[in-house]
Structure 1
Amino acid sequence: MSQVRSMIVVVLVVPAVIAFSLWAFLWPSARLAPRDLPLGVAGATAAVAPVKAQLEEREGAFEVHGYPDAAAARTAIKEREVYGAVVVTDRGPRLLVASAAAPTVAQLLTESLGERDGRTVPTEDVVPLPENDPRGTALNSSALPMALAGIAMGAAVSTLGLRGLRALVTVLAAAAVIGLVAAAVTDSWLGALAGDWWAEAGAFALAALAGGATVAGFAALLGPAGIGLGALVIMLLGNPFSGVTSAPQLLPEPVGTLGQLLPPGAGGSLLRSVAYFDGHGVAGPLATLGVWTVLGLALVLLGPVLRARPTADASAAAGAPA
């Protein structure tokens, strides 16, 4: 009977997992479109009114923010309040974008707003990507290795039998080394990041730590099944829903919001902020990664105790006199 069950698992469960994986990775990418994408409009109130009306006609596509002039719009872009802005001047409109915020969004704005009345609208890249990585490939590609690093770290701690304080110290130390190595590769070697080196290393380390602590904590509480649950959260949900390769506001809802509440999405947003925007916009990602880290490490310390308690209660009940 056990072999029959194993055959059923292979024939039914494995294809179901593959189908779920395909859905998680392909569906968001196939439905990319602006959804309440923060976009600025700058200029005199009377001049920008027609532009605002035109943007608002695309119901649900843009979240329009008004600014008095181009300088205020540039500041908003650099502080990650908006992805770009349309500046209305006496000579006509101008378009401000930030390829470092999301190359996909910058291209989308250029294609959809970069032409007016048959003429090309002058476009300025306020926060460009580094010359060594003009397409942002390095940062976009970092989400998967960080997710794998977290899963591998947590699985190794559990498989090697590390428990309690030793497991906690191991996870912290491994995450710190991962952060240093990742910053050395992406910044020092490839020159693909443009922020403070130590801040980038910290962002990489915290992203790996949140994932590793989550997997190790689930494993401490649930045993080997916890590794699978952690991998499901980090890899099959967190990675495709992260929006790192596009933008959270381009993903279908609630995927865009959910992705920012999971370690890969929060880690990608944190790294982008410290690498290109001088740390603006780090509060939300830091809070998300901090919550996952604290909860994971708490389970690493308390999981074995919580897991052993039901067993002890069952043994006591079995040994009690009728």
Structure 2
Amino acid sequence: MVAVIVLIPVIAALALWAFAWPNARIAPRDLPLGVAGPAAAAAQVEQRLEKRDGAFEVHRYADEAAARDAIEDRTVYGAVVVTEAGPKLLTASAASPMVAQLLQQAVGEQAAQEGTRVEVTDVVATPAEDPRGSAFGSSVLPLALAGTASGAVVTLLGLRGARAAGALAGAAVLVGITAATLAHTWLGVLTGDWWAEAGVLSLTTLAVGATVAGLAALLGRAGLGLGALLIVFLGNPFSGAASSPRMLPEPAGTLGQWLPPGAGATLLRSVSFFDGAAALSPALVLTWWAVLGLGAVLVGPLLKRPKKPAASQPTAPTPGRAPAPTPAH
């Protein structure tokens, strides 16, 4: 009884910290931003941006075309192009609607002080069916829950070895196909290649499910709790799917990209809106978790298998001594 009374408030405090703390501290932190235009004018813009206490990581580009390429390659979230008519802001709301809005406010305020007007161009826009990116941001938790559930069900049903790995892979494929059908075909919030999106959704689910089942194979039932803590309580709120990893306080932003939910959201964004740009790193993270988890699922039961006792050997009689006579009945 005491354990329950103490444990529940601890879990509630952990959940509030994990979900509320990042949202309460959202702000740009070394946010990659491009500056293009004539050297002298671009240098002045760069100096003004660098005065914002580490909010932006400025990248210089020769012209607007180079800045657009950097945005489409996901090197920067946006760019300020200095022209004779005034500053021009390039954004990518598909990378993060929150960041695009932030850039418009920051550059617009500066231009208003100088008496100029900013022309805004959304280079890679969000889908019309999801202009604020809210549907995309809410897609992380269902995948985390589906993967966690698959790992838990495999464990509770007692599946082991290749059967467990096959069940996890099969469930992940079906989740990916179902999710792509809902998000792409029905809702229209994903706009990339359908099969690539289904593959990303499947890989994310497999990475989560294999992690949970692998921890359970190594640690027993306690592994289920640890897996849920890692995926749901840390991976989901630290994913940055609703804002951006660069908008979260550290170490949440970096840690989230090393966990399956954050890597899955980043990879899905790259595949769906940016033709696969910057997809290698999150793909490797998901593959790493999936391989390690499936490896633990396959090896875990072997590590727990009890050793067979050695066969008892008959005791040889002592030399020079006759065996004890068998009593007559």
| TM-score of the alignment, normalized to the shorter chain, above 0.5 | yes
Partner Cα distance (1:97, 1:114) in 2: 13
Residue number in structure 2 paired with 1:23 = 17
SS of 1:40's equivalent in the other structure is: strand
Write out aligned runs for 1:165-244 (5 A). Answer: 165-244=162-241
Moved more, 179-188 or 131-140: 131-140
Task: Give the deviation of 1:119 after TM superposition.
Answer: 3.6
Give the distance between the partners of 1:243 and 1:253, measured in 2 at CA.
Answer: 12
Matched, 1:297 2:310: no
- The number of residues matched between the two structures is 307
Q: Which residue of 2 aligns with 1:98?
A: 92
* Counterpart among 4, 8, 11 of residue 10 in structure 1: 4
Task: Give the Cα separation in 1 of the matches to 2:213 and 2:154.
Answer: 7
* SS of match in other structure, 2:59: strand
Letter in 2 for 1:253: E
Structure 1 residue 169, shift from structure 2 partner: 0.8
For 1:1-322, list aligned pairs within 5 A: 7-115=1-109, 116=111, 117-308=114-305, 312=307
Point out the structure with max Rg over C-alpha: 2
CA distance in 1, matches of 2:132, 2:52: 28
Greater fraction helix: 1
Q: Secondary structure at the match of 2:34?
A: strand
SS of 1:120's partner is: coil
1:194 Cα offset (Å): 0.8
Give the equivalent residue in structure 1 for 2:325: none
Residue 32 of structure 1: SS of its match in structure 2?
coil
The Cα shift of 1:14 comes to 1.2
CA contact 1:114–1:123 (8 Å) conserved in 2: no
Q: What is the letter of the counterpart of residue 53 of structure 2?
A: E
Q: Distance in 2 between matches of 1:131 and 1:241?
A: 26
Whole-angstrom distance in 1 between the partners of 2:296 and 2:196: 27
Q: Match for 1:8: what amino acid?
A: V
Distance 2:241 2:127 in 1: 17
Deviation at 1:85, TM superposition (A): 0.3
Q: In 2, Cα distance between the equivalents of 1:279 and 1:267?
A: 13
Q: How many Å apart are 1:137 and its aligned residue?
A: 1.9
Summarize deviations over 1:136-184 as a string: whole Å, max 9, x none.
1221110000000110000010011110001111111110110000000
> What corresponds to 2:318 in structure 1?
none
How far did 1:114 drift?
A: 2.0
Q: Supply the RMSD in Å over aligned alpha carbons.
A: 1.2
Supply the distance in 2 between the matched residues of 1:254 and 1:124 (Cα, whole angstroms). Answer: 32
Q: Could you list the runs of 5+ residues in structure 1 that have no partner in the other structure?
A: 1-6, 317-322
Residue 13 of structure 1, CA deviation: 1.1
SS at match of 1:114: helix
Contact 1:114 1:122 in 2 (8 A): no
Residue matched to 2:317? none
After TM superposition, where is structure 1 displaced by more than 3 Å over at least 4 residues in a row? Answer: none
Q: Any conservation in 1 of the 2:87–2:117 contact (CA below 8 Å)?
A: no
**d(CA) in 2 for partners of 1:130, 1:17:** 37
Structure 2: runs of 5 or more not aligned: 311-329
- Report the AA paired with residue 279 of structure 2: V
**TM-score normalised by L of structure 1:** 0.93
**Letter matched to residue 34 of structure 2:** G
